[in-house]
Each structure stands twice: as structure tokens, then as C-alpha cells.
Amino acid sequence: MKGKNNIATGFLVMGLFMAYGFFLIYLRDFAPGKEEWINNYSSGKHFETRLAHVHGNLFAFLNILIGYLLLRFKDQLKSVNTISWLALTGLLMPLGILAEVYLGAPPFLVLIGAIAMTTSVIWLGISFYKMKINR
């Protein structure tokens, strides 16, 4: 069922990135070397991890919202399956940022995720604009 997977995955990913936020608080307030972490607030790994945290939660929320809208309007919208998969693929962006920071991965996951999420949002917007309202 398209939309359901977006909602379930969105809540799970949001929970994981919320927990990751607690890890970032630990690094800022309690970890050995916290002064160095604080001094690099707007650059390097610290900045990248904050980007991943924020975008992870945003993209998770977008999946919840998109999933709900796809479920609610599935009979009136076209390309529901494609929009659903694009939104889910968008989650590669924040995961790709983390892969860059912790694994030294190249940024291709970030780009794929960003393009997929942007495409899904625009496609859904156009689909709603074209939707016929039954009265």
C-alpha cells in the first residue's frame, strides 16, 4: 500500500535522527574533548552532523506527510507509486551525509537523495494542482 510505507519509514527514521540528536548533545556537553567540538561549531564534521540531523528529521517528516497525502488521495492522484518511491529515496540524503562524515563516502548518496526528494515534492505539487475535485 503506497503511502503506508512512507509513513512507517518516516516515523522510524525520525526516531533514529532524534536519537542521533541526543548523541550530538552528548558530544557537545559531556564527551571528552567537548571544547574542540564546540570550537568547530560551524565547520567540519560538527557542521555536517548537524546538517544530517536536521535534514534527517525534515525528510522523515516529509515522508510522513507525503505518505498521508498519497493514502488520502490515492484514487485522485496519478503516479502515486513513483512519488512514494522518490520520497523514500530522498532519505539517502541525510544518510549520505552521515556516510561522508563517518565512513568517508563520496557525496553521491547526498545528491541522489536531494534530487529524489525535491522531485517527489514538486511532482506531488503538480499532481495536486492538476487533480480534479469531485463534488
Which pLDDT tens digit goes with each residue over 9-60? 999 999 999 999 999 888 888 888 777 777 777 777 878 999 999 999 999 9
Is position 85 within any domain?
yes
Output DSSP code: residue 133.
Answer: P
Query: Which comes out higher in pLDDT, residue 43 or 131?
Result: 131
- Count of structural domains, the chain: 1
Looking at residues 106-126, what average pLDDT do you find? 97
Q: How far apart are CA 91 and CA 17, in angstroms?
A: 11
Is position 35 within any domain?
yes
* Count of beta carbons in the 10 Å neighbourhood of residue 105: 15
Q: Which domain holds residue 86?
A: 4-130
State the pLDDT at residue 125: 97
User: Does the pLDDT at position 134 exceed 80?
Assistant: no
* Local confidence band at 123 (pLDDT 50, 70, 90 cut-offs): very high
* pTM, to two decimals: 0.91
Is position 62 within any domain?
yes
What is each CA distance from 111 to 35, 52, 100, 114, in whole angstroms? 32, 13, 12, 5
Is position 135 within any domain?
no
Is position 75 within any domain?
yes
What is each CA distance from 127 to 17, 64, 88, in whole angstroms? 30, 18, 18
* Local confidence band at 126 (pLDDT 50, 70, 90 cut-offs): very high
